[in-house]
Structure 1
Amino acid sequence: MFTNIPRYVEREIEEIQKLTLPIMKKTRKYSFLAILIIPISIVNLLSLIFFTPWSQEMFISTLIFAVVGALGFAFQKEVRYSAKEIHKVSIAYMKERVEKSRVLDRHRQHHYIELLSTHPTRTLNTFQQFLEEENRQIGL
């Protein structure tokens, strides 16, 4: 995913991945199920409704496919929730890591924590900037 990143940044990303791995595994399973179940249930529901004469069996089949489709949409909603959870865990780790820095002063730590909080779409870039600054300070 990343190319030409320093080893110290790579180690921190690996730590974040270790924390989020259980959530990501569950998310992949639910995503696969949702992608599989939703189209199948929609196609079958449409074919039952528009191309099958009304009968007792059709009603039961329609009900079954509607429940399966609802289950697929529930999986999809869980995937969205899990993605938010992964983001929260990642940001919490980043903030904790910034707070634990013994190299940067409190003002710089607060600056990075503020950036992580206010710019959620740029968290990885902000965290990498923090790590680079910390590494420069260590090297001095």
Structure 2
Amino acid sequence: MKMFTNIPRYVEREIEEIQKLTLPIMKKTRKYSFLAVLIIPISILNLLSLVFFTPFSQEMFISTLIFAAIGALGFAFQKEVRYSMKEIQKVSISYMKERVEKSRALDLHRQRHYIELLTNHPTRTLNIFQQFLEEENRQFH
């Protein structure tokens, strides 16, 4: 899966390794996200039409319960998506930290610096990891 352009091959290889680790979680996340996006609006629209445009009856009550349960399921899928995205981030950062620790090109001080950056700036991990890989590559060449 090629997401990035104009990046060095050694960075691309590491990103592919991260994608291999996160692929099972990502597949589940896509399914749940699709279901949530599909189920929630349908449920809400049907609930609104039942409540505001249908006279009260036992059938209306049962339908309301069914659509409420379907909506709750959709929101549960949405919550699972958020949890899975955090899990993907955790797995990715863990891989990056392990990769920094295994580096033979950088001294312990530089390794700790990058690990600290990865820990303290979770929204910039990919940029930080790329900087690490570029520095490591410069040390080897």
Give the TM-score, by structure 1 length. 0.99
Show the counterpart of 1:89: 91
Structure 2: 5+ residue runs without aligned partners?
none
CA distance in 2, matches of 1:126, 1:93: 13
List structure 1 runs of 4+ shifted beyond 3 angstroms: none
Query: Partner of 1:29 in structure 2?
Result: 31
Matched positions, count = 139
CA distance in 2, matches of 1:48, 1:21: 40
Distance in 2, Cα, partners of 1:26 & 1:134: 34
Q: CA RMSD in A?
A: 0.4
The residue number in structure 2 matching 1:46 is 48
Q: CA deviation at 1:2?
A: 1.4
1:124 is aligned to 126
Task: Return the alpha-carbon distance in structure 2 between the equivalents of residues 31 and 124 of structure 1.
Answer: 23
Structure 1 CA distance, aligned partners of 2:31 and 2:106?
41
Percent identity, aligned pairs only? 88
Give the letter for the 1:63 counterpart.
L
